[in-house]
Amino acid sequence: MSLKRERDWSTSCKPNKDALWYEILFHKDKLGLDKNVLKHMRDDNETIGHYVNERLLTAATSIQSTPGELSGITSLLHIASVVILSESNRERIDQTLDFIKEVPAFNEIDPTTIITTAALYYLIHNAECMPAIKGEYLSALKHIHKRLDHMNWFVGNEAMEALKIERSEDALTYELVHA
């Protein structure tokens, strides 16, 4: 089959507020992160956003080199965890973990993996959509997104669908052409 589904990047760069990953991260009865948590990413100073951008680029470089892939993936998980732990609190994290345990699509998945995956997806999605991100860095981010797609974002297809994690344009094309 040789269908090619085009993705509308102008609308896909807006966060899907109906997506479960968005609810987990931003609703006040879940992690309750500030919706502007990554505003710092647009600042060019020594904030957590600068740290996140630097770590994403380092992880992307590692993932693109065969012996460094596991190190890069570990870095990505660390980045997502730093954002969660620095921007939420223990009570909200516990509430969110309890909520996740009740979602049937996540039955056999560690709830902390769901939270970390939601945060990681948001970080990568947000960075891919930043107008200032171009060239080699954008290419590296898209490579990370595609690589995580191939690993089903550590949670499997059913959980990805429940979270409403969108596959990268390259992964969509590959799947439809090889279906």
Q: Does the residue 4 lie in any domain?
A: no
Structural domain includes residue 18: yes
Residue 87 has what DSSP assignment? H
The answer to the question of residue 161 being in a domain is: yes
What is the pLDDT, as a whole number, of residue 45?
47
How many structural domains are present in the chain?
A: 1
- Whether residue 1 is contained in a domain is answered as no
Q: What confidence score (pLDDT) does residue 4 get?
A: 33
Give the model's pLDDT for residue 152: 94
Q: What's the pLDDT at 48?
A: 56
Q: How far apart are CA 21 and CA 139, in angstroms?
A: 24
Across 66-77, b (16+ Cβ under 10 Å) vs e yields: eeeeeebbebbb
- Residue 83 within a domain: yes
pLDDT recorded at residue 171: 57
What pLDDT does residue 142 have?
Answer: 86
pLDDT given at position 154: 95
Q: What is the pLDDT of residue 1?
A: 31
pLDDT in tens, the chain (179 residues): 333 333 344 446 777 888 999 999 999 889 988 877 766 444 444 555 566 777 888 888 888 776 778 888 898 999 899 889 988 999 999 999 999 999 999 999 999 999 999 999 998 888 887 766 677 778 888 888 988 999 999 999 999 999 999 988 765 444 444 44
- Note whether residue 2 is domain-resident: no
- Its pTM stands at 0.82
Half-sphere exposure at residue 45, Cβ-oriented, CA atoms within 13 angstroms: 4
Q: What are the C-alpha distances in Å from 33 to residues 77, 91, 102, 123?
A: 18, 13, 21, 13
Range of the domain at 114: 9-177
- Which of 129, 159, 118, 153 is closest to 31 using CA atoms? 118
In total, the chain counts a number of residues equal to: 179
Q: Domain for residue 36, yes or no?
A: yes
The Cβ-side half-sphere exposure at 26, using a 13 Å CA radius, reads 15
Which residue in 103, 108, 142 sits closest to 24, CA to CA?
103
